[in-house]
Chains A and B, each alone.
Chain A
Amino acid sequence: MSEFTPPKAPAHIRQGSSIGQPLTRRDGFLKVTGAARYAADNHPAGMLYAVIAHSSIACGRVSFLDVDAARGHPGVVDIMTPQHKPELAMDPDAKLHPFMFRMDLLQNDRVRYATQPIAVVIAETLEAATEGALLLAPRYEIETAAVGLDGAESFVPPGVGAGNPAAASKGDVQAGLAGASLRIEATYETPSQYHNAMEPHAIVVAWHGDTLSIDMPTQGLVMTQSRIAAMFGIPPEDVHIRSPFLGGGFGSKGLAAGPQILGVMAARMTGRPIKLVLRREQMYGPVGHRAATRQTLRLGADGEGSLTAIDHHAKTTSSTFDDFFEPAADVSHTMYASPAIATSHEAVRVNTGTPLFMRAPGEATGSIALESAIDEMAQACGMDPLAFRLKNYAEVEPISGKPFSSKALRQCYAQGAERFGWATRKLEPRQMRDEDGMLVGWGVGTATFPALMFQGQARAVLRADGSGVMETGAHDMGQGAWTALAQIAADGLGLEIDQVEFRSGTSDLPDAGIAGGSAHTATAGIAIHGAGADVIAKLADLATGDERSPLFGAGNTGVLARAGRLFRRDDESRSETYGDILVRAGLAEIEGRGSSAPDPAALSAYAMHAHGAVFAEVKVDPDLGQIRVTRLIGAFAAGTIINPHLVRSQYYGGMIWGMSFALHEHAIIDPRSGRVMNPNLGEYHIPVNADVPSIEAILVEERDPYVNALGIKGVGEIGVTGSAGAIANAVWHATGVRVRHFPITLDRLIERR
């Protein structure tokens, strides 16, 4: 193990009182009054509307567009096509790094997936632009589309997810399976899923000479800024992006999407501001999705119920023109102890938009399969599924052998099971009914998600009037960044939260990294924390070096910052307000900077993950097969909780995504055309309110000294994992039918009887 010491608290510390408080959302007032301005709510003077025309075929080329018909519609101003468009400074098909995804910007007449943009109609009114797009009535030369997991030759991808190797192993899996007294092998399928944030991707954009003014939702202001700048050959600082609110992102708004760039092109071409908003059906192609998987799990166990081998193989799809490979099997690296583990991936290229990160990418797809398989093995062993999980509890990270930086999973299991009443569960399936005769089933799933942190920066200011400013270009897509980060800022500055002006959500602020990987609170939060410490340290230097200050000479023992005052650490009767210190020094304000970055020493020494246990009760109509999740209880340990009120909401959201994964959402793709046949919210089902009668989240106490200075692990995605598997396992327990094809729909229960 490499040398590592946990980060020390800075010499001048703040005695926190905002962190940990269940504050309500600071942006709540704006959101409940309709005053929160989302991108598409903007309307600069002289603005035109742009509407995309998209391909209905999945493979081939566009042979004709009825441009005259569209142009003839009153109000249509111009039509952008491969033949008529502004020049770009960069090839949309260039890929300079793995996070640069190829885009469809009318570079030619080729069609590589259904819903690909093939033209943009620009008009004075939304009605004219919309109808203009329809009037283009494209004709095509159609080629046979590659569709689905068996749609093309498979290959081993160069890497999966964000650069993980496609295969990993430890120990001898074949020997582990051969020597096992019990073996199971099962194959699970998960469908293509689409992020479907409530807010469609949008952009309102105006060129002012060669600078850009943009309103668009983004989870990654700086990456988006630099991508747009590169596409148009202008310096990044000339691209000004405002993204104060996102109407949900879930991974689909991390990077600039092609349709948004088309909006910038339309503004360039017409010389007028443009609003371009995707129609709902256009969100099933160019803005990412979670790829389908087919996963085969082979598990071995000895006579005592200890796993001897885990072999997890995943097949997935990617597009014909770009690389993203759902890292479904990798979840087996971290979950259960086994002397032998092997994970591997294969992929096929099909005519689909490129898949992308979608809330818990890899973990969601992988864990529903793994958690189902673990239950199947528990059943084979004749063991309670929770007891089986505890029996195979990973004391160290199974694949690497590293110790966990912290892991309160046992407490999650215990507290969740207690709250749920798990102890009275019948071991065999189809044993429980409610008073109305409904089959009742209980299932458990283990939740996990890595505790990540990216690079971020923040700037802090203390002013002579006693107030403070904290700036970081963070993103609030619903997770509560406006509130949680302001809480960290308040503590970092030693101020009450209302004395802190928290500035966020534009590209002109310090880079807060991307809001993804459940890492945003850690990334932006540690930068904020550092900026606060930096400015307090500067203030303390002013005071302790000034003999007129009651803090003079305290430099050796340090000071505390609290409620707008600095206190001598060894004698709190001696203190002074920030304002007094600055005024005496003749300063209107004082500035500090902070940054965050993962610590390589900590990363090499420890495995860092959040954990949880989810317990589900489902009721299933014994004859009709309709399923309802009547109780869902998750217990999660994710390090320091900045705001329990908002964290609970994040867990609920994740758990409902788990429910959606297990029972509802899937793209229905016509195998002949490659078109998604349910590209709408009426038939692409996500849960409605009535699907969620009872949901609870338990916040399990956990202190992690290694992940970062504040011990934050992240909570945005873990709720999806565990929940999906728990529900699938509960359906089995209710019915005795093991459905390995997700989502579990009632026809699969009807047919099996």
Chain B
Amino acid sequence: MSFSTTLTVNGVSRTLALDDPRVTLLDLLRERLDLTGSKKGCDRGQCGACTVLVDGRRINSCLALAISHDGADILTIEGVAHGEQLHPVQAAFIAHDGLQCGFCTPGQIMSAIGLIQEGQTGHDPERVREGMSGNLCRCGAYSGITAAVLEAQLSFEETERKQVA
């Protein structure tokens, strides 16, 4: 049995013939679409390394069946930068050293982008920490991550102000 599924991945619409309904969104990206930026740290929704945006919302792609997301719009870490031009969150992660081994980093960045879009944190570091607590980092880069998210958020707001003005 084959299941036809249409997904938009990083702006490109793809129609896929899935031979197996068990394929998770994460395994689809990693093993079948060569989008290996999203990482598998636990495969059980407990580490956040697989975080992607689905229809603009951050979720754990390891617990999402691809077939169930027919029609979804998916943004992965590969779709965030414009060529050499990094997304402000990516640039801020480098500037604040919000990474060490880098394995959790794609998930952290997608989570941070989702968090900023959710608009719930203000400039409160405590809310950012709580909002980023679904992404484990064994290296312990948390303080850099928090600083990066706060800075990236400011730069977004700056951009928005300029656009309004």
Contacts and interface: CB of A to CB of B under 8 A. Distances in A.
Interface string B114-138: 0000000000011011101111111
Interface in A94-147: 125-128, 131
Given A34-B77, A692-B129, A479 B142 contact: no
A344 B86 CA distance: 55
Nearest to A127: B22
A198 B101 contact: yes
Nearest to B99: A31
Nearest to A658: B140
B140 A656 contact: yes
Given A25-B97, A689-B146, A31 B102 contact: yes
A29 interface: yes
A681 B42 contact: yes
A234 interface: no
Interface in B53-99: 76-78, 80-81, 86, 90-91, 93-95, 97, 99
A573 to B, nearest CB: 40
Contact of B41 (A198, A480, A692): A198
Interface string A197-208: 111100000000
B145 interface: yes
B61 to A, nearest CB: 13
A652 B141 contact: yes
A247 B103 contact: yes
A280 B46 CA distance: 10
Nearest to B102: A31
A695 interface: yes
A242 to B, nearest CB: 15
A689 B140 CA distance: 9
Nearest to B95: A24
A245 interface: yes
A639 B109 CA distance: 34
A593 to B, nearest CB: 30
Interface in B22-50: 22-23, 27, 30-31, 34-47, 49
A127 B86 CA distance: 35
B139 interface: yes
Interface in A38-60: 38, 40-41, 43
B157 interface: no
B48 to A, nearest CB: 9
A657 interface: yes
A485 to B, nearest CB: 15
A196 interface: yes
B15 interface: no
A37 B78 CA distance: 12
A382 interface: no
A591 interface: no
Given A32-B86, A689-B146, A38 B39 contact: yes
B97 A646 contact: yes
Given A688-B133, A688-B136, A200 B40 contact: yes
A264 to B, nearest CB: 20
Interface string A427-452: 00000000000000000000000000
Contact of B145 (A28, A34, A198, A689): A689
Chain B binding surface SS class: loop
Given A38-B103, A198-B104, A43 B37 contact: no
A352 to B, nearest CB: 21
A131 B20 CA distance: 12
A402 interface: no
B46 A680 contact: yes
Nearest to B30: A41
Interface string A265-298: 0000000000001011000000000000000000
Contact of A33 (B22, B42, B49, B81): B81
A248 interface: yes
Nearest to B93: A32
A598 interface: no
A478 interface: yes
A280 B40 CA distance: 9
B99 A126 contact: no
A250 B38 CA distance: 22
A519 to B, nearest CB: 18
Contacts of A646: 97
B127 to A, nearest CB: 10
A198 to B, nearest CB: 4
A716 B45 CA distance: 29
Nearest to A654: B140
Interface of A: 24-25, 27-38, 40-41, 43, 125-128, 131, 196-200, 245-250, 277, 279-280, 477-480, 645-646, 648-650, 652-657, 680-682, 686-695
Interface of B: 19-20, 22-23, 27, 30-31, 34-47, 49, 76-78, 80-81, 86, 90-91, 93-95, 97, 99-106, 109, 125-126, 128-130, 132-146
Given A31-B105, A681-B44, 15 more contacts: A32-B93, A32-B99, A34-B36, A38-B103, A128-B20, A196-B138, A280-B43, A480-B100, A649-B100, A652-B143, A680-B44, A681-B41, A681-B46, A687-B142, A692-B129
Q: Which 9 A-B pairs have the closest CB atoms?
A: A34-B37, A247-B103, A478-B101, A478-B100, A656-B140, A31-B102, A34-B77, A41-B36, A653-B140
